[in-house]
Amino acid sequence: MTTRPNNLDSYWMPFTANKQFKKDPRMLVSADGMYYTSDDGRQIMDTAAGLWCVNAGHNRPKIREAVANQVGELDYCPSFQFGHPKAFELANQVAELFPEGMNHVFFTNSGSESVDTALKIALAYQRTIGQGTRTRLIGRERGYHGTGFGGITVGGLVKNRMYFGSLLTGADHLPHTHNLAKNAFSKGCPEHGAELANELETIVALHDASNIAAVIVEPMAGSTGVLMPPKGYLQKLREICTKYGILLIFDEVITAFGRLGTATASDYFGVKPDIITCAKGLTNGVVPMGGVVVADYIYDTMVEKADSPIELFHGYTYSGHPIAAAAGLATLETYREEGLFERANDLAPYWEHALHQLKDEKNVIDIRNIGLVGAIELEPMAGKRGYDAMVEAYKQGLMIRVTGDILAFSPPFIIEKGEIDQIMDTMRRVLNTID
């Protein structure tokens, strides 16, 4: 087992209170199935699939073997002007899982890169079809689209934007859909708020559709604290985008690969966007990889109408990396063989029931859920309450995810009902321990 270095100073940890962490580190040294092992030898249940990515659970044999074998077979292959079979096979299999008519996959290394890639494809496509004035990008308040400049420009989390200058020009934001006064303790999609999609009409009226390239939203917003789309909201957004020739991008970095019990959230909600981003569950978090899946008409048009032999001046050294592709293929095989998306779907009602049992616990102002995702929103305390809950949960053997004072849960799909009960029992104790 790896031991803890004496000096923790050099590693600048992302999205982490470095000073606090280094005083009292939460150090994980191994993982198997539903559990991490901490460096003090405790079993910590993973209630968050790592960071929403380890959908099949940890240390899965097929994935482990595929990665190990790939290192010896083909460790790297240039991604520009050369290819290797596994990247093509993975693209085929992803296309098979994603909505009909979306059969082209551009590989990236992360969700952030997928988002920036999707925005660039949208802009380049509009230009290719002679709509070069369509340059504005529309995101949403409270949206999280990763940390690239494109992603934080269309994103709507204030802290992720406020330190970083003027961002990209020409972005607008739809209002967020969170409304506790009307929708608290909703099960699944909330009843109220579909009309908020009509705000897109206001933005169109302000700028004219001829200046707008794309709208990007998370079909279910995860990182902001789990916000489900109000019933009918995504359908309305789709209608308005279609009416004005605006591309609709679903950021499915969290939702793709089974999180809602279907291959994609597009499937789950029955709404087909023009472009879908993904990452995380694509390789079960084992090797970094993301993808952008585009509608056939976008790819075909860009390839046919390109004004130079290369139709898209964009890509990464590690696009379609052989080891990531091997991990991706083994991950999809694991999902298929074990019926894990169906399992997530089957567990969803049990999950919903168990989670909502915490309704009357101390400081709980909302509980919400969809698929194998849940959130407990606590009476706000500027993030302190959420942080304390995370630390206390870790002491009591759970790894949970927090955003401000919202606790988010997204366990691996291999979770057993008894483990769901265990999460709720522990969380009850945690909520009663913290202020």
Ligand X SMILES: Cc1ncc(COP(=O)(O)O)c(C=O)c1O
Task: Write out the residues near ligand X by the rule CB under 6 A.
Answer: 52, 110-112, 115, 144-146, 218, 222-223, 251, 253-254, 279
The rounded distance, in Å, linking the Cα atoms of 151 and 172 is 13
| Residue 218 vs 352, nearer CB to ligand X | 218
The rounded distance, in Å, linking the Cα atoms of 216 and 222 is 14
The rounded distance, in Å, linking the Cα atoms of 122 and 116 is 10
| Shortest Å distance, C-beta 249 to ligand X | 11
181: CB partners within 8 A, 6+ apart: none
At position 299, the amino acid (one-letter code) is: Y
| Residue 216 vs 364, nearer CB to ligand X | 216
Q: Give the burial string for 73-102 (b: 16+ CB within 10 Å, else e).
A: eeeeeebeeeebebbeebbebbbebbbeeb
| Shortest Å distance, C-beta 110 to ligand X | 4
| Residue 102 vs 220, nearer CB to ligand X | 220
| Residue 111 vs 411, nearer CB to ligand X | 111
Structure tokens at 328: 């991706």
At position 230, the amino acid (one-letter code) is: P
| Shortest Å distance, C-beta 10 to ligand X | 22
The rounded distance, in Å, linking the Cα atoms of 266 and 17 is 35
| Residue 156 vs 230, nearer CB to ligand X | 156
| Shortest Å distance, C-beta 161 to ligand X | 14
Contact 143, 216 (CB under 8 A): yes
| Residue 146 vs 322, nearer CB to ligand X | 146
Q: Which residue of this chain has its Cβ atom nearest to ligand X in the complex?
A: 111
The rounded distance, in Å, linking the Cα atoms of 54 and 281 is 6
| Residue 200 vs 249, nearer CB to ligand X | 249
| Residue 110 vs 186, nearer CB to ligand X | 110
Give the closest residue to 288 by CA, choosing from 297, 278, 298, 302. Answer: 278
| Shortest Å distance, C-beta 181 to ligand X | 26
Distances (CA, A) of 44 to 23, 29, 35, 211: 20, 11, 5, 50
| Shortest Å distance, C-beta 40 to ligand X | 28
| Shortest Å distance, C-beta 276 to ligand X | 11
Q: Give the burial string for 220-254 (b: 16+ CB within 10 Å, else e).
A: bbbbbbbbbbbbebbebbbebbeebebbbbbbbbb
| Shortest Å distance, C-beta 105 to ligand X | 16
| Shortest Å distance, C-beta 279 to ligand X | 5
Strand 406-409 versus strand 401-403 pairing type? antiparallel
| Residue 110 vs 183, nearer CB to ligand X | 110
DSSP string of 10-65, one letter each residue? S---TTS-HHHHHHS---EEEEEBTEEEETTS-EEEESSHHHHT-TT-BS-HHHHH
